[in-house]
Amino acid sequence: MLSIIVPCYNEEATLPLFVAAVEQVNETMQEPLEYIFINDGSTDKTLTVIKSLYQKYPEKVRFLSFSRNFGKEAALYAGLKSAQGELVTVMDADLQDPPELLPDMVHLIRQGEYDCIGTRRTDREGEPKIRSFFAKTFYRLVNRIGQTEMVDGARDFRMMTRQMVDAVLELTEYNRFSKGIFSWVGFKTKYLSYENRERAAGETSWSFWSLFKYSIDGIVNFSEAPLNIASIIGGIACVGSVVALLFIVIRALLFGDPTAGWPSLVSILLFVSGMQLLCIGIIGKYIGKIFLETKRRPIYLIKETEKDIEERKTIQN
């Protein structure tokens, strides 16, 4: 069976289109499917639409509805834990992940050579230029300073074997960055390329600021380079302070102690203080991650599933 995990946040307009597109593709594949919709605290009628899809396809559709919005990473993890298929696919409901790639993915992965068939965009057509610039910069930076390679343009849309899914589930960390986790666990992966697509309907919930914070989490989760940079900055500041102190002492011995130079002194103090605050902020980011991990809070909380609907029907009967 092929399990299709679909994280949903305010996707009421796209869900019927998504299921119709996948069902049309599956007419050629003839694969037993299960849809696992994760309602990530949506504020629109997403849950209502999911329930209607469950009524239409009771043998195929399953869902988890969170008690609030826990984020896409939590939704992905919940979907992977619930998936029962020998093959597991992660897809977005907005149809930016082409369902017509599914037959090729199934064919390639069942040949036995690959454990994962991923997808990547060959371009970012239609995306704001500033957003594309920062995205490319992020991949260049994280691949240079991190030990886990991340493919530029790679999507969460991928098909994995049961063995790889079980390996991903062994990483139970609270601070999750799936693109890095998929790479970190290893396993042989082949990427299929396709041109960028616009959303089928609705609006994205990912703002520039959300993506920026997400990229910072990716760097912190898979690289110690920021801590090393903070140490280097501190060392340079210490050496510079010693050199400046020697210069001041020697100048005072040779030429006296003039009162001039206060502006430069204040500038140096502000510069060093700024570097200290920057380093403290970097260290604080890592300490904050440690703090959240030590709390051992659940990654998500479930409010309702399709089993609750069946239980209510049983009670009514």
Q: What is the pLDDT of residues 120-168, one digit of tens each?
A: 877 666 565 666 666 666 666 665 666 666 666 678 888 899 989 999 8
What 3-state DSSP class applies to 189? strand
The CATH number covering residue 181 comes to: 3.90.550.10
Distance CA 243, CA 194 (A): 56
Domain check: are 281 and 174 in the same one?
A: no
pLDDT of residue 36: 92
Q: Cα–Cα distance between 92 and 253 in angstroms, integer? A: 71
For residues 18 and 86, membership in a common domain is answered with yes
Q: Annotate 75-107 with DSSP letters as a single string.
A: HHHHHHHH--SSEEEE--TTS-S-GGGHHHHHH
| Distance (Å) of CA 256 to CA 241, 261, 264 | 20, 13, 18
Least confident interval from 24-28, 78-82, 111-115, 152-156: 152-156
* Verdict on whether the full-model pTM lies above 0.85: no
Mean pLDDT lowest for which of 52-56, 101-105, 128-132, 234-238?
A: 128-132
Residues 213 and 256 in one domain: no
Task: Please check whether residues 157 and 234 belong to one and the same domain.
Answer: no
One domain, residues 238 and 118: no
Same domain for 245 and 134: no
- Within this chain, do residues 148 and 47 fall inside the same structural domain, yes or no? yes
Q: 3-state class of 305 per DSSP?
A: strand
Q: Which residue has the tokens 């920062």?
A: 134
Residue 279 binned pLDDT confidence (cut-offs 50, 70, 90): confident
Give the phi and the psi of residue 29 in degrees, each rounded to 5.
Answer: -80, -40
- pLDDT by residue (tens digit) across 25-34? 888 888 888 9
Q: What's the whole-number mean pLDDT along residues 167-180? A: 82
Shortest CA distance to 35 belongs to which of 51, 235, 96?
Answer: 51
Residues 217, 242 share a domain: no
Whether 102 shows a pLDDT value over 80: the answer reads: yes
Range of the domain at 255: 225-295
The answer to whether the beta carbons of residues 303 and 67 sit under 8 Å apart is: yes
**2 within 8 A of 91, measured Cβ to Cβ:** no
Tokens describing residue 173: 């960390």
Classify 217 as helix, strand or coil: helix
Cα(10)–Cα(278) distance, integer angstroms: 37
Domain match, 205 and 255 both = no
Q: SS3 of 245, please?
A: helix
How confident is the prediction for the chain on average, in pLDDT?
78
Do residues 232 and 104 both lie within one domain?
A: no
pLDDT at 35: 92
Tell me what the mean pLDDT of segment 91-103 comes to: 86
CA 192 to chain CA centroid, Å, is 20
Residue 224 confidence (pLDDT) above 70 = no
Tell me: do 102 and 249 sit in the same domain: no
Question: What's the pLDDT at 289?
Answer: 73
pLDDT score of 70 more than 80: yes
Alpha helices in the chain (DSSP H): 15-29, 46-56, 72-82, 102-110, 129-145, 162-169, 178-184, 208-222, 225-255, 262-295, 306-316
Q: Confidence class of residue 110 from pLDDT cuts 50, 70 and 90?
A: confident
- Residue-level pLDDT at 218: 59
Do residues 191 and 132 share a domain? yes
What pLDDT score was predicted for residue 37?
A: 93
Give the residues across from 196 on adjacent strands.
Answer: none
Question: What is the CA 147 to chain-centroid distance, rounded?
Answer: 17
Q: How many domains are contained in the chain?
A: 2
CA distance 114 to 187: 8
Say what the pLDDT of residue 39 is.
92
The whole-angstrom separation of Cα 178 and Cα 160 is 13
Q: Are 77 and 299 in contact (CB under 8 A)?
A: yes
